[in-house]
Amino acid sequence: MSQSPQSTPQLVPSLQSSPQLVPSSQSSPQLIPPSLSTLNLHLDEHGIQFLQYFEEKVSPLLCIDKHSSNYFVKTFLQISLTEEAISNALACWGGIFREGNGLKNLQVKRYMNKSIQLAQNFSISDISRYYTLLCFYQIMVGIQVCSGDVYYWHKMLTNCFNGIDANGGFSFLLEKFSHSNDVKWLISNFQYHDILQSGAFIRGTRFPIENYQLNLVNYGVDPYQGCNNDLICHLGDILNEKVRIDEDDLQALDAAFHRFWAKVESCEPVNHQFELLQDSAKHNYLTLFKLYKVATKLVLYMYFKRSVPKSVDISLLVDEALPHIHSLVHSRFVSCLTFPLTIVGINAVGPARLSFMDVMNKVQACYSVGNVTRSKAVILKCWDRNENGARLFDWVEVVQEMKWELCLC
């Protein structure tokens, strides 16, 4: 591990591009009164404005659908009422969207610096601060991913991992906080970022996937994952197996391909969460699930069949994915397209590249956050190096050469 769990947060903000634009009980998610941010006593007038912008504009943008449970408000905003470090962090998150120029705005930067200063007084070994610090790390991850950071978000995720690992893992966390819905979502949020990142394609996931499956899904519809938790866990298993198997062991690769293909093919949306949806919302959730399933199948072909982008199998899957992406671009589900966009994009060849770039530009027009821009840069470099799609080429080599840690969330 790169950092002791007891050490203070190490964060030197460097947000390169700007976007445009106490745990609860185990019962079902509660409604939050409007403008909860205005009740905050830790911030000045500008801070309240930024915090309110986070509540009213940013959290709905990040939360994939109005039918999902908005834990950005329910968890983060509620704890900000009692924790000044969280108040300042959320004010920064709202400010970078509201002002549109990231930390170049001195007022926005001031809230970031204040949050870090306050959090440095926390110790992950102090159980009374454990929950607050986990929220702080995850908020910092979100701020930096939205801003296009390719380094410090990963340091914060590492700090979060170190803290959880040093304090008995997820079982202790769930038990200590009475299996609260807020803690279940914090675990889900960590899992989502742990699996959907370039580093998982190289090193595997931080925790074994079975650890994530301890987390029950009865906390509502996930604001990031929707009903895709089981499928994303299969992806994590695939990436861990990819790291484990010798790439020259063709028999083991083929066996793994067929084993995981069967799991992915038979996977369905998490039923408990899907049943919570209104009928009018189910179509988009199913479309998102189908898109993630296609992207996961592409990963299987890339790493276990060693298929090149111009192969028939890859091309058919790309053609299957593109209509799903097009149908979700102008919905709130655009916020969770980065992973399938990246995997589909690097595998597009010929006319499919034109269609892909058309949809990528539409995504950027309505969801202009930094990690989408970073993903596009990687895709274009992959196209330059594999012009006709005939080479066996691993996209993470581009990410490594750029010395990036790319978040695909």
Quick check: 24 pLDDT over 90?
Answer: no
Computed over its alpha carbons, how large is the radius of gyration of the chain?
A: 20
How many helices and strands in the chain, by DSSP H and E?
A: 21, 0
Q: How far apart are CA 119 and CA 102, in angstroms?
A: 21
Quick check: 25 pLDDT over 50?
Answer: no
Q: Helices 84-99 and 45-53 meet at what angle, rounded to 10?
A: 70
Quick check: 226 pLDDT over 80?
Answer: yes
Q: Decide: residue 167, CB within 10 A, 0-12 exposed, 13-18 middle, 19+ buried.
A: middle
Position 215 scores a pLDDT of: 67
Express each pLDDT in 237-255 by its tens digit.
Answer: 999 999 999 999 999 999 9
Quick check: 22 pLDDT over 50?
Answer: no
Average pLDDT over residues 312-316: 99
Cross-strand pairs, 220: 218
Q: How far apart are CA 88 and CA 84, in angstroms?
A: 6
316: confidence class by pLDDT, cuts 50, 70, 90 = very high
Quick check: 305 pLDDT over 80?
Answer: yes
Position 116 scores a pLDDT of: 95
Lowest-pLDDT range of 30-44, 105-119, 300-314, 319-333: 30-44
Q: Decide: residue 162, CB within 10 A, 0-12 exposed, 13-18 middle, 19+ buried.
A: buried
Express each pLDDT in 262-272 by its tens digit.
Answer: 999 999 999 98
Quick check: 180 pLDDT over 80?
Answer: yes
Quick check: 257 pLDDT over 90?
Answer: yes
Tokens 């991992």 sit at which residue?
161
Express each pLDDT in 96-152 by its tens digit.
Answer: 999 987 767 888 989 999 999 999 999 888 888 999 999 999 999 999 999 999 999
Position 9 scores a pLDDT of: 36
35: confidence class by pLDDT, cuts 50, 70, 90 = low
Position 14 scores a pLDDT of: 35
Cross-strand pairs, 378: none
Q: Helices 106-119 and 127-147 meet at what angle, rounded to 10?
A: 150
251, 362 in Cβ contact below 8 A?
A: no
15: confidence class by pLDDT, cuts 50, 70, 90 = very low
67: confidence class by pLDDT, cuts 50, 70, 90 = confident
